[in-house]
Structure 1
Amino acid sequence: MTSRPTAAQQLRDLARLRRVRDRIDREYAQPLDLETLARDAGMSAGHLSRQFRIAYGEPPYAYLMTRRIERAMALLRRGDLSVTEVCFAVGCGSLGTFTTRFTELVGMPPGSYRRQEASATEGMPSCVAKQVTRPIRNREAPAPEPQLASPPLPT
């Protein structure tokens, strides 16, 4: 028989989850793994992952990758670093994985983004640029309108 957590326990868990999220935001460029985050939060890895997803809509690793890609987007717009330098500056250990995740979240490879977006946010306050350029996960992107097939033309 499992017992439901009390309101006090839920508040404690939420505070722990907020600390984990804040740590990911601060230390996105460092090697972070679920087991370390969970141990430091005093939770099991499975419990942390489930509760984090409930609270923030995505698991901790996806949240970490979103933070890394957001920072990478800012560095690429700046234009003074190569894609490889940006990859390692945001904490990714593999250029291939970075490119795949970047393309998945942003919709284009990092090199294309760098060329296209370098001047797109010029003169825009950074707080506005961050909001405007936030990556959209595939599941959040609007679905394309279905195209109805036109009836065949009479011959």
Structure 2
Amino acid sequence: MTADLDELRRLRRARSRMDRAYAEPLDVPSLAAGAFMSPAHFSRRFRAAYGETPYAYLMTRRIERAQALFRSTGLSVTEVCLAVGATSLGSFSSRFTELVGMTPSQYRAADHDALAGVWSCHAMVVTRPVRAGSEKRGATGQS
């Protein structure tokens, strides 16, 4: 039982690292090393604990941050892509479109006034990227 709690703490630390350092080049082997696990074991345990792979979690964080930058700045799609740590504009655009349901350019051009007076912690519930066409997650972030 103690080993399970210790493993969950290490997974939570890795997830927190992704939350804080999303713009840095992060990969599964380095995250796994920080959690004292092999990359394969880390990926399996992360998915079991959080319902998605470490890569999917990191990309969702990056897309969330990109949405916030599109809503609050005049940065170009390329500038936002680089600011959130994505290294390929094509991969970033594909993943953004998959999660949000529109291209980064369409999202950037869209009217976001409906969220103007909403606290960012509440706006995140509404704007959290979820694979386009799938059911929206609840307020707890669970699938």
TM above 0.5, one fold?
A: yes
Amino acid at match of 2:110: Q
CA positional deviation for 1:117: 3.8
Query: What's the % identity of the aligned pairs?
Result: 59
* CA-to-aligned-CA distance 1:98-140 (integer Å, 9 cap, x gap): 1000000000001101111432311211111111111112474
Q: Which of 64, 84, 91 is 1:97 aligned to? A: 91
Q: How many residues align?
A: 136
Residues of 2 paired with 1:120 and 1:112: CA distance? 16
Q: Which secondary structure state, in structure 2, belongs to the residue aligned with residue 66 of structure 1?
A: helix
With normalisation by structure 2, the TM-score equals 0.90
- 1:46 corresponds to: 40
Q: Which of 30, 37, 44 is 1:36 aligned to? A: 30
**1:72-91 alignment to 2 at 5 Å?**
72-91=66-85
Q: Which of 21, 32, 56 is 1:27 aligned to? A: 21
How large is the Cα RMSD of the aligned pairs? Answer: 1.4
Residue 135 (1) aligns with residue 129 (2)? yes
Equivalent pair of 1:79/1:118 in contact (CA under 8 Å): no
Residues of 2 paired with 1:111 and 1:138: CA distance? 16
With normalisation by structure 1, the TM-score equals 0.83
Equivalent pair of 1:76/1:118 in contact (CA under 8 Å): no
Residues of 1 paired with 2:109 and 2:125: CA distance? 20
Q: Provide structure 2 residue ranges, at least 5 long, that are not aligned to the other structure.
A: 137-143
- 1:112 corresponds to: 106
Q: Which secondary structure state, in structure 2, belongs to the residue aligned with residue 93 of structure 1?
A: coil
Q: Relative to structure 1, is the Cα distance of residues 10 and 103 closer, same or farther in structure 2, using a 3 angstrom cutoff?
A: same
Amino acid at match of 2:126: V
